[in-house]
Amino acid sequence: MCGICGVLNTDLSPADAGMLGKMVAAIRHRGPDDCGVYTEGNVGLGHARLSIIDVAGGHQPMRSSDGDLAITFNGEIFNYIELREELEKRGHRFATSSDTEVILHQYEEDGEQCVRRFNGQWAFAIWDRRMRRLFLSRDRMGIRPLYYTQTRRGFLFASEMKALLAQPSVRAEFDLRALDQVFTFWTTIAPRTAFKGIWQLPPGCSAVVDERGVRVERYWSLSFPEEKHRTVEEERELACELRELLLDATRIRLRADVPVGCYLSGGIDSTVTTALAAHVAGDRLRSFSIAFADAEYDERRFQQEASEFLKTDHSSFCCSAADIAEIFPEVVRHAEQPVLRTAPAPMLLLSRLVRESGFKVVLTGEGADEVLGGYDIFKEAKIRRFWARDVSSRWRPLLLKRLYPYMDGLQRQSPAYLRHFFRVSEGDLGSPFFSHLPRWELTARLKLLLSEDVRNELRDYDAFEEMKAALPSEYWTWHPFHQAEYLEATGLLPGYILSSQGDRMAMAHGVEGRFPFLDHRVVDFAAKLPPNLKMKGLREKYLLKRACAEDVPASILKRTKQPYRAPDGKCFFGADAPEYVEQCLSHRAVRDGGVFDANAVGVLKAKFQSGRQVSTRDNMALVGVLSTQLLLNQFAGRQLDSCTQWGSELRFATSS
Amino acid sequence: MHTVGIGTEIRDFVVTNFLFGKGDDLSDEESLLDNGVIDSTGVLELVSYLQERFEMRVEDDEIVPANLDSIRNLVEFVGRKIGR
């Protein structure tokens, strides 16, 4: 796992190796073990390496033996061993034992279609000298990041935007539409990013870049074939099949020349991945978790239970509100987009613990909720839809109490209010976003905080329309449950969970996450399941629980899902609040930033300072404003000077 | 306390607490739920505010939109409770 970057100067000016070095330096945290730059005329590739497979031989950028191809690659191709065997049979000769070289040979064999053969998590760029073009690709689910921009001189790409900003010609200018999207969906809609003119290659896409421009092509998309009714017998078989698939997905994700650890959150997903890893590895595993000083968020009891059951050597980091406040500016610097939750912060602290414990690879349970029907939002949509069929029913709304058992505020609501909150109108039922409307509409209220100028600028913009336009045509034919899964798996998952809370927080300390539930075979298998095998009645992840009942302790199998959350807005107030909070949220700072209404932010701040009860929306508002203000300070309008940690160890290579 | 006074106070609370002070467009009749002014925890904030500020007890069966879902409903509800 690494950081990559590169340039293709379409004005044919020579690539500047020194400037590439600066780009590499900006993302050096992603690959502290090694780094290198390759230039050939108007093309340059840069690489910061975290050495995991073929530690000695896998230096990058790597060239093919004939010198026609050069690659810079971030990620893993987990089935590289099988692919290599096939390629060798076809006469390919390998100089290293790395997966990087397998990509080069597979590209020689299949051209742009090579990515369809890969099982993994990747972002890479191949310079094809014969074709005079760059080929870029990003994995199916968006696990590894890839950004690009175009300047007058040419095309630039990198794992993180801060590497692009190391080029003097690239400036970070806030994209207000992106802000509107984050303050509605919690993330931008790919290819949009927080900054104007900087794009992300969407998950499941490749791109070809040459002097004619950038052409993006989708090679994979999440799709839900028509569901079939399943018999009880078939259900048993499907459960076995799912477990076998997960076992194999885990097995190939343990391929590494360094030890692999596991995150153990105390929920079923990470317990399953850890259990399967222990099964495959056959020896004692090392596990890691986040604990919270605040009991409301803490899952230590279940983490310990899982660790004892699976006999892992466990370490945890106990996170306090003060820790979150202290580390938050770092969180935003790495996330490179506003966030509405502080939940990434503990993940940043956890990756530090992992790194300090000598590990650079961890397996996690990420993705199970999206692909196997775990989220409460799916449950909520199901209840609302069920109730909408008989709006006069008095007892149907009571099902709503079964939602969100961990949300005390909601549990204390009267039935009359619950009915009102989750009410369904005719119009809502026909909306493609039925499942997500309550969440998105609640979030969109945060836009009240925007300054008048920004609101004027956004007057004619409708984020929902942009989201609608991005939907595939077959979306409208899918079961509502699958529509909801699609929105989660293609929206929040890559846009926040795998990025702001995932890749960026882990890679800040050079730690690579691997996700068995996001193996595309598992994803495709799950997409074919009928919704009632994912959520049976209101039992979430039904088939997964059935498939892995023997692998996890009964208490964890039976416990109600607790989403991962961390203390939010209150972290930033009180006697020990860090100074930057006031520097970012003062009337003057907010006014000068121009994004938010300084008076409105003042009112919000006063509410937190008063110690009065605050709502979910207040928390999102506070964290959203603070992270945006931090982002403005750290990035906007600036060109980054991040030439730290970059010195004599950088290897230069040029074509000869 | 006059009903007018109560009305102003309640409006101030709603606008400050739920609309970040930006409540010029909010009419007395508007539904606080339908317009997304309050979310689920908002109702509890509202109830604890009423109990503390007006020294009244709000029973569970009184936590219904008919009592709490607009500034006008709130003013009337408080008026009934504290005998004005």
Let me know: does A63 contact A38? Beta carbons within 8 Å: yes
Interstrand relation of A120-128 and A69-77 (parallel, antiparallel or unpaired) = antiparallel
Q: Does residue A651 carry a pLDDT above 70?
A: no
Query: Do B69 and A420 count as a contact with CB atoms less than 8 A apart?
Result: yes
Query: Do B40 and A445 count as a contact with CB atoms less than 8 A apart?
Result: no
Q: Which domains can be identified in chain A, with CATH numbers?
A: 2-220 (3.60.20.10)
The pLDDT tens digits of the residues spanning B9-52 come to 999 999 999 999 998 889 999 999 888 888 777 888 898 899 99
Complex ipTM > 0.90: no
Let me know: does A350 contact A289? Beta carbons within 8 Å: yes
Which is more confidently placed, A418 or A7?
Answer: A7
Which runs of E-coded beta strand occur in A80-119?
A: none
Determine the length of chain A: 656
Which is more confidently placed, A552 or A52?
Answer: A552
CA angle B10/A619/A495 to nearest 5° reads 140
Nearest CA in chain B to A619: B41
Burial of A232 (0-12, 13-18, 19+ CB in 10 A): exposed
The pLDDT tens digits of the residues spanning A117-175 come to 999 999 999 999 999 999 999 999 999 999 999 999 999 999 999 999 999 899 899 99
Query: Which of A412, A442, A599 is the closest to B44 by Cβ?
Result: A412
In a 13 Å sphere around the CA of A3, the CA atoms on its Cβ side amount to 34
Query: Do B65 and A416 count as a contact with CB atoms less than 8 A apart?
Result: yes
| C-alpha to C-alpha distances, A511 to A100, A236, A263, A303, A564, nearest whole angstrom | 19, 37, 12, 21, 20
The pLDDT tens digits of the residues spanning A488-516 come to 999 999 999 999 999 999 999 999 999 99
Domain with B68, as residue range(s), is: 3-81
Nearest CA in chain B to A415: B64
- For residue A389, the model assigns a pLDDT of 75
Q: Please give the share of chain A, as a percent, with pLDDT higher than 90.
A: 78
Q: How many CB atoms lie within 10 A of CB A374?
A: 27
Which runs of E-coded beta strand occur in A419-469?
A: none
Measure in Å the smallest separation between the Cα of B53 and chain A Cα atoms: 13
Number of domains into which chain B is organized = 1
Alpha helical stretches, state H, A144-267:
161-164, 176-185, 232-252
Q: Does residue B2 carry a pLDDT above 70?
A: no
- For residue A407, the model assigns a pLDDT of 65
Q: Does B23 touch chain A (CB under 8 A)?
A: no
d(CA A81, CA B80): 77
Query: Do B22 and A448 count as a contact with CB atoms less than 8 A apart?
Result: yes
Let me know: does A570 contact A615? Beta carbons within 8 Å: no
Let me know: does A477 contact A329? Beta carbons within 8 Å: no
- For residue A584, the model assigns a pLDDT of 96
Which residues of chain A have a Cβ shorter than 8 Å from any chain B Cβ?
Answer: 407, 409-410, 412-414, 416-417, 420-421, 441-442, 444-445, 448-449, 597, 599-604, 607, 612-617, 621
Mean pLDDT score, A310-334: 96
Query: Do B45 and A416 count as a contact with CB atoms less than 8 A apart?
Result: no
* Rounded (to 5) percent helix, strand, coil in chain A: 45, 15, 35
Measure in Å the smallest separation between the Cα of B47 and chain A Cα atoms: 11
Let me know: does A152 contact A13? Beta carbons within 8 Å: no
Task: Return mean pLDDT, chain A.
Answer: 91
What CATH code is carried by the domain that includes residue B15? 1.10.1200.10
